[in-house]
Amino acid sequence: MSAVVATIQDVSKLFGRFAALRRVSATLETGRCYLLLGENGAGKSTLLRVLAGLLQPTLGTVDVLGRTAAAARGRVGYMSHATMLYDELTARENLDYTAQLYAGTACLSSDQALRMLGLDPQLTRPVAQYSQGMRQRTSLARVLVPQPELLLLDEPFSNMDRASAERMLVLLSELRGAGRTIVLTTHQRELAEPMADVIWTMQGGALETTEAQ
């Protein structure tokens, strides 16, 4: 049986009277891909942010790599809707800056991370001039720099052409094969489903879990 990476136990997240998460429980295991599906507003992004340690649950507990989610943030890679890139910098400069935030961590070099996503480290134009697809790939490269054990990806294929999305899927499959655990949301279910081990479906803040076929 695979090692447990994270556990979510009876987690609810309230914003005023609105329950974004309703008694969510789940277990994440090493080297598995969890495909998180649901309509807009179902609670997907909130769940990812709770796992990433960016939001505290109102009720319930979250354990990530034997710690609280907040304490484990250095070992978790979170890719949000916002690319979190500095538009005036090149891709390499963005990744160099990220590496500085993880002093003492065995980081990938900027060149390594960019090449993993099929990007040229020698590009000198700022990321503000990149296509949306290139920005998405640069954003994932930034997330991969500290070599996180748990990857949380919120709509990683957004604004990507099919070829770029398929290239990213190949990389994610390789990372999963190397023991990384991946949770990703997407409205392009047909793209990600072939690599999914578990399907999580959210509706009204509640989570249903099924093993992928």
pLDDT at 1: 58
pLDDT band at 197 (very low <50, low <70, confident <90, very high): very high
In this predicted structure, the answer to whether residue 150 has a pLDDT above a threshold of 70 is: yes
- 93 and 127 in contact (C-beta within 8 Å)? no
Strand order in the sheet with 206-211: 76-79, 150-154, 181-185, 33-37, 198-203, 206-211
Cα(61)–Cα(31) distance, rounded to whole angstroms?
22
Tens-digit pLDDT profile for residues 64-99: 999 999 999 889 999 998 888 999 999 999 999 999
Task: Output the pTM of the full model.
Answer: 0.94
In this predicted structure, the answer to whether residue 7 has a pLDDT above a threshold of 80 is: yes
Tens-digit pLDDT profile for residues 167-185: 889 999 999 999 999 999 9
In this predicted structure, the answer to whether residue 104 has a pLDDT above a threshold of 90 is: no
What percent of the chain is modeled with pLDDT above 70? 99
Residue with tokens 């979170």: 78
Please count the other Cβ atoms lying within 10 Å of the Cβ belonging to residue 96: 16
- 148 and 79 in contact (C-beta within 8 Å)? no
